Chain A
Amino acid sequence: MTDLTQARSLTELDPRTKKRNAAEKRFRAYGVSAIAIGVVFLVILLWNIISAGLPAYTQTSLKLDVALTQEEVDKAESAVVKTTRYRKMIEAAMVAALQDQGIENPFSKSRDLVRMLSTGAPATLRDAVLADPSLVGQTSQFEFFMSSRADGYMKGRVTREDLARDKNLTPLHLDVIDRLVDAGMVERGFNWNFIFGVDASEARPEQAGMGASILGSFYMMMVVLMAAVPIGVATAIYLEEFAPQNWFTDLIEINISNLAAVPSIVFGILGIAAFIQFGGGVMGIAGFKQSVPLVGGLVLSLMTLPTIIIATRASLKAVPPSIRDAALGLGASKTQAVFHHVLPLALPGILTGTIIGLAQALGETAPLLLIGMIGLVATSYPEGFVSGFTEPNSAMPAQIYQWATRADPAFYERAWGGIIILLVFLLSMNIIAIILRRRFERRW
């Protein structure tokens, strides 16, 4: 009684209120600092990726006039290793170009001089000649990539001291490069080849590109869309709307939830056993072989199925029962009620779940290791649209992983550059999911 009648100032807080307010302030501070730490890590991560990856998007190249004679081209084409002969043409052209520009050539062997060029330069020249035979007999200008170390010098990654004990390039090369830059023959430009090119061997990181593996990822996503989405959505609709509630459907439900937590490498082992050894080997299905996007996509489908089923069931559950009841009350059959009324309302949620499942599959590497999509695989574009499913290819994350393990530091730069491309894809898929949800979602 005394407590209630005791006079108390409204402007002065009693100890209990003070304590409660302090607790609330503390909690807010924890929240803000948690977010701040998260943001700091995100910024550090992004800054790291972008600063390490951006150099991959530019490439130094050399503009060189090469005289092609019929005699030399014929001789080259009849040799076993044709590119060696084409290299000799480039060597001669380069020695001549240095003389023209009045640049001193410090190398007695022209072979040493062209070490500043990519080892892929002869193949570039040969491809140009094969594509356009009219080039033979004239002198035309070609653009050749500089070698990874020469390129690194232009990017500030490689210094003269670094080359002191290097086998491929010497500081003398750098002197020549400096003069060539002055003469306007060496330029650093945007590297379209990194985005649209194909993978290259360890000897020529400057030629390696993501193009083929982007396409590989694309094909696998198509397979996931075509395999996992119909099966997953059908499973979810049946389980949610039609299936009787008994121990058997309970068992299936528990298994689906468990499947969502299975490590992805397990699906890779399943893929090699079920698709390649059984499907391709025992059953003799021609498309089921090593390193092909068809098998990769099916493996990723298995992995994505639980995600799609769970998301679809959740969005079906979110549709109010009154809509089903109204449809059934007006005489619609169960199937009509589901397909005409419930499913359209659940569609935005299903789409969001599907896209998130796809994004997950896009970033997956482990199962691809086992079915042979890691290595020097993405070396060419498929010949046609359909054959792209069954021609060996890699995938974006697999390609990045492969680059990160290679010896030349230039590959490391490319691995980071590849991460930027992968992130752009993932980000845009997630943004599409968000937009779809915002536009079509209905709340009750």
Chain B
Amino acid sequence: MSFTKVAASALAITAVAGVTHARDNVQVAGSSTVLPYASIVAEAFGENTDFPTPVVESGGSSAGLKRFCEGVGANTIDVANASRAIKSSEIETCASNGVTDIIEVRIGYDGIVFASDIDGQSFAFTPSDWFLALAPKVVVDGALVDNPNTDWAQVNADFASQNILALIPGTKHGTREVFEEKVLLVGCEETGAMQAMIDGGMSEDDAEDACLKVRTDGLSVDIDGDYTETLARLDANKAAVGVFGLAFYENNTNVLQAATMSGVEATTDTIASGEYPVSRPLYFYVKAAHIGVIPGLQEYASFFVSEDMAGPDSPLAEYGLVSDPELEATQESVDAGETM
């Protein structure tokens, strides 16, 4: 075998590959919560236009925004999906790397549901229940003590006896932040634990941070993987209660039942109206400098928020996205290319 020949042909092919055109597809990365919606849009975009199907990568909101802020050019991504708003620190990083014009697009809302095995008991939770079940310290008889609750019946007398085992998203997930803010913090205030901490000499900020902590004795399990992992854990231990996205839950209603939160059932309607408390907006961010350079980028952004894609009676809504009541305003700002 002649190795010089093999090496030469290797070099030749690499060289040929190297001189082909710059990127002609839109490159998207970011939140795994937004990924299903973005992939549905990308697929429909490829089907309905002459542009190639955009590449949609997963990896998480923070990872996506980090790559988004790496700079301008064909070897950086054009769109970052995020299940939370961009932080000011990220905008600064972006600016220092030359990414100054960012278009923020809110695509709709995502509900977070608390689901348990379909054959188990039906829960009707309040934020206080979750705080009492998961906090490391709770108020008992006016004093702050280590959480004594190990059974849901201890948390709320309305529940049947069932060991507490909560499968909550790990700290790298955007969902965790929403869970902390809209459930644990609210519960902390409602049960008076926050006031007790402040009375005990903590500053308000410290007390707020302490409210977001969860117990570490094994009754609360952080799931760092996807919802499929949560489902697998729940399947293995039927007594567990898991935190899921609404769309994931709706795809698995044959094995899961969702609990109500503060008496409200999680549906696209109750989330859109704001009645269901645990929801969050979903975004994507577009690099304005790439519009006109990467073919199809402007069209992709407009297509994403069009009535046919993200409206109340659209493929995204069917999959579980709570469509944004202010979608029309978003469409206008996307078409006008308004930057942040």
Which residues of A are at the interface with B, using a C-beta cutoff of 8 A? 80-84, 119, 123, 126, 158, 161-168, 200-204, 226-227, 229-230, 233-234, 276-277, 280-281, 285-291, 294, 347, 369, 372, 374-377, 379-380, 386-387, 389-392, 402, 404-409, 412
Contact = CB atoms under 8 A, between A and B. Distances in A.
B251 interface: yes
Given A375-B56, A376-B55, A289 B43 contact: no
A227 B44 CA distance: 37
A168 B22 CA distance: 41
Nearest to B77: A290
A248 to B, nearest CB: 24
B46 A379 contact: yes
A389 B13 contact: yes
Contact of B10 (A227, A281, A288, A412): A227
A407 to B, nearest CB: 4
Interface stretch (B33-41, B212-220, B276-284): B33-41
Contact of B228 (A165, A229, A234, A405): A405
Given A82-B48, A289-B23, A201 B253 contact: no
B55 A123 contact: no
Contact of B75 (A280, A377, A405): A280
A372 B58 CA distance: 8
Contacts of B59: 369, 374-375
Nearest to B3: A230
Most buried by A among B6, B226, B228, B303: B228
Interface stretch (B24-32, B128-136, B148-156): B24-32
A168 B43 contact: no
A161 B20 contact: no
Contact of A166 (B19, B27, B57, B253): B253
A391 B17 CA distance: 10
A226 B254 CA distance: 50
B163 interface: no
A402 B58 contact: yes
B9 A226 contact: yes
Given A83-B47, A374-B58, A203 B75 contact: no
25 contacts: A83-B44, A158-B254, A168-B318, A202-B35, A226-B14, A227-B10, A229-B6, A230-B3, A233-B3, A276-B75, A286-B22, A290-B27, A294-B14, A375-B35, A375-B39, A375-B55, A375-B59, A376-B42, A379-B42, A390-B20, A404-B228, A405-B226, A407-B228, A408-B251, A412-B228
